[in-house]
């Protein structure tokens, strides 16, 4: 399908979700505890913010716009896509940038994380073409 939106529902699993979504996939503000079952590829934004997930394992491999995992309980970026346009992991428990996307086409937002990263920390791990919010 074009968009998939199950946000603000009481779903607790992504099992059975579409394998590919041409535009946006939004599972924010739900009770999901895992990204397993998420599509492999999302043509627009992937939003799993404001959920109790504690890991990005199972996340899409390809996201062609924004990847938003802010306001979650993740402590690691392992499982994140390798390339995104915008990446938001603000308000999380991450203490390491291991697993961060290799390339961010525009904005990398990691404000209010467990560890306060510097721009140099981020640029050593991720090629960010635009703005870094710390």
In angstroms, the CA 58 to CA 51 distance is 15
Q: In sequence order, what are the beta bridge partners of 22?
A: none
Instruction: Report which of 95, 97, 87 is spatially closest to residue 115, judged by C-alpha positions.
Output: 95
What is the Cα–Cα distance from 21 to 23, expressed in whole angstroms?
6
Give the torsion sign (CA, 106, 110, 111, 116).
negative
Q: What pLDDT is stored for residue 13 in this prediction?
A: 97
CA 49 to each of CA 29, 43, 86, 119, 130: distance values in angstroms, whole numbers, following the listed order = 7, 18, 14, 23, 22
pLDDT at 1: 61
Say if CB 97 and CB 118 are below 8 A apart: no
Residue 116's pLDDT is what?
94
pLDDT at position 49 is: 98
SS3 at position 42: strand
Output 3-8 pairs: Cβ under 8 A, ≥24 positions apart.
Answer: 3/44, 4/39, 6/30, 7/47
| Spans of the chain, pLDDT less than 70 | 1
pLDDT tens readout for residues 101-126: 999 999 999 999 999 999 999 999 99
What spatial distance separates the first Cα and last Cα of the chain, rounded to whole Å? 35
């Amino acid at each position: 399908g074009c968009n998939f939106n199950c946000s603000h529902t009481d779903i607790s699993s992504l099992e059975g979700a579409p394998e590919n979504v041409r535009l946006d996939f939004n599972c924010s503000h739900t009770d999901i505890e895992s990204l397993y079952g998420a599509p492999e590829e999302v043509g627009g934004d992937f939003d799993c913010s404001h959920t109790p997930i504690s890991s990005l394992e199972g996340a899409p491999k390809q996201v062609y716009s924004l990847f938003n995992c802010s306001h979650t309980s993740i402590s690691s970026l392992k499982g994140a896509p390798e390339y995104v346009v915008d990446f938001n992991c603000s308000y999380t428990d991450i203490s390491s940038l291991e697993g961060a996307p290799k390339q961010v086409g525009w904005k990398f937002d990691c404000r209010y994380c467990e560890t306060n990263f510097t721009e140099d920390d981020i640029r050593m791990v991720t090629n960010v073409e635009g703005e870094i919010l710390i």
